[in-house]
Structure 1
């Protein structure tokens, strides 16, 4: 069973479409959607309808902080450009789409796998896993062998040994990583719709639940088209510009 780990789509239809097409060529059978489906981008309705379709076919989906803000119609702690996108998005989603966002869980556990947007120690507090310390807190908070989370827009991999020793690894796209059985693992696939590591290509990862192997992926997509969608919506120019630079 190969699971596509996709997070932080941020209403980017072009990136999400490209990632889904790529996943089909890789033999993916299942999908885990790790939150922040909306916010920033210009196509929230299309993205949400695709997410709902995948969920109806058995995909896992959890709530992100932008999803929560849009469902409630408020984002007082977000930056101005993010707040503008939240307000704009809320006004353009249907009652059914908003209800779908509102009912998403903060986390889902399937066998030895924890799926969550922000972290394992306080999913609703939206704290970032910015380094080894937060990764250790997250891994100590669960008995699951694997934690898959988003929120951070850069791909990263952390592990915790049975003796409590922690490690971190910046992955290389396309290189198979065996997730050894004597460790706990925390996987951050990176952002599908708004990467921030200097590479505009969409991020996602593929986890083979049978072999335990993990592959991080980068998928080029129509970045100019996604930026044009943001501009056509009248959203802040900064949201379009950062797609072009991957920042």
Structure 2
């Protein structure tokens, strides 16, 4: 590749006259996050910045690889290429491995497949380092370290190592990225500056990071900004990328941390004393912050679980699937907190985004889908959260969603009129013999609207009978 051929070529310094740009914004590691980039650039301009220095890694994990490259190539931005960008251009393939390597490969492939020829040419034109002179100060911008774009420098990098790098940098100031950690350190008269990551912070703080360098005093101001993280996460989902990529942004952590935490959650849920029952109580507590009618949700939960148990001969699902159904029933109406319109979709969004829920990424899609389908449309492959599931899990979601639809219909009046029911399974029908305490006109109407999915998955007609409780 051309980039490798020019790896050791001499880079002539760019001269910036003293006072020409009093404030220079330093950015790095945008990682295809257009939402964060727009927020950072708008904020910097509002602070009087006209020139940006970009330490690389345009691409990776985000939904907008081409848009980010186009924006940074057309604005007043001086850029170098990052290690991730180089891997995408090389069409690097991850060695066979576990789920985490597969997801990293998905990110590489998505970035490469969604770059225009113009963006590819621009990235190929970039050098691995840039030298700049501002007045009597010399700057070196590299992605990782002066010796390797793969070397992460952090606030905890040893002073001995920074001293070694200072001796080979040939600059007063070294601007770096790659580690996603904001810091400024001075060693042997050389100042190392890392602005942090614009688009993929991984220190537990999900805000976008950048820095502003004052070219008069050479003071560095480190900045963290709130931005539309949920919008960026939704864009990842709409691009059919793994949910873990969205969770990285929502939590402000790395993909490795996501996988480590999910493994811990799976192990924890396998322990009886910390299993499903304890997690359900935690979920109910969180749901109370959002659900305007928790009594209705408790009724739906009771009825849905009773349907699950009494129909076990037809579905052959186990405790894990029962847990998904229970969680979905508890959470199916939390979307009302965002307004009545499309509250089922809002419930899904909250299940995907609320970090307090003790769910893995897979569980968020499964439980969120079941909750979302408690009303309106049946499961469809045009819905990103359903399409992302395996065929086996799609079938499970259809079954469990059909149960929650019936349970919700049985409490359409939110009055808990159905106190109990008997269930009879025949070759061509399922009969619910419901014992009720009051008028069921709303319930009867609702069941007629909601029963189609149930009848499809059990391959039987649903008959509901109402009996006044003596």
Same fold flag (TM > 0.5)? yes
Q: Which moved more, 1:60-69 or 1:70-79?
A: 70-79
For residue 232 of structure 1, the aligned residue among 235, 238, 248 is 238
1:96 aligns with 2:97: no
1:36 aligns with 2:36: no
2:152 aligned partner = 128
Larger radius of gyration: 2
Where relative contact order (Cα < 8 A, 6+ residues apart) is larger, the structure is: 1
What's the secondary structure of 1:147's corresponding residue? strand
Residues 38 and 237 of structure 1: CA distance in aligned 2, closer, same or farther (over 3 Å) = same
Is 2:213 the counterpart of 1:187?
A: no
Structure whose residues are more often helix by fraction = 2
- C-alpha separation in 2, matches of 1:75 and 1:3: 36
2:144 to 101, 105, 118: 118
Write the distance in 2 (CA, Å) between the matches of 1:87 and 1:192. Answer: 22
Shift of 1:140: 2.1
CA distance in 1, matches of 2:168, 2:93: 27
2:73 maps to what in 1? 52
**8 A Cα contact 1:63 1:104, kept in partner:** yes
Alpha-carbon contact 1:157-1:187 (below 8 Å) kept: yes
Cα separation, 2, equivalents of 1:240 and 1:135: 34
1:229, CA displacement in angstroms?
0.9
Say which structure is richer in strand: 1
Taking the aligned partners of 2:164 and 2:31, their CA distance within structure 1 comes to 27
1:27 to 48, 58, 69: 48
Output aligned runs, 1:100-179, within 5 Å.
Answer: 100-111=122-133, 112-123=138-149, 126-130=150-154, 131-132=157-158, 133-161=160-188
Q: What corresponds to 1:72 in structure 2?
A: 90
1:63 aligns to 2:63 (yes or no)? no
- Give the TM-score normalised by structure 2: 0.46
In the TM superposition, residue 244 of structure 1 has moved relative to its aligned partner by 0.8
Write the distance in 1 (CA, Å) between the matches of 2:93 and 2:57. Answer: 13
Deviation at 1:233, TM superposition (A): 1.2
Distance 2:208 2:220 in 1: 17
Aligned equivalents of 1:137 and 1:15: distance in 2?
34
Structure 1: tracts of 5 or more residues without a match = 162-182
**DSSP-derived class of the 2:169 partner:** coil
Measure how far apart 1:81 and its partner are. Answer: 2.3
Give the root-mean-square deviation of aligned CA atoms. 1.5
Shift of 1:75: 4.2
> CA separation in 2, counterparts of 1:152 and 1:98?
24
Q: Report what 2:203 is aligned to.
A: 197
Aligned to 1:165: none
Distance (Å, rounded) in 1 between the aligned partners of 2:151 and 2:223? 25
Tell whether the 8 Å contact from 1:13 to 1:46 is kept in structure 2 after alignment: yes
Q: Gaps (5+ residues) in structure 2?
A: 1-21, 254-470
Contact 1:71-1:99 within 8 A present in 2 as well = no
| Rounded Cα–Cα distance in structure 2 between residues aligned with 1:154 and 1:43 | 23
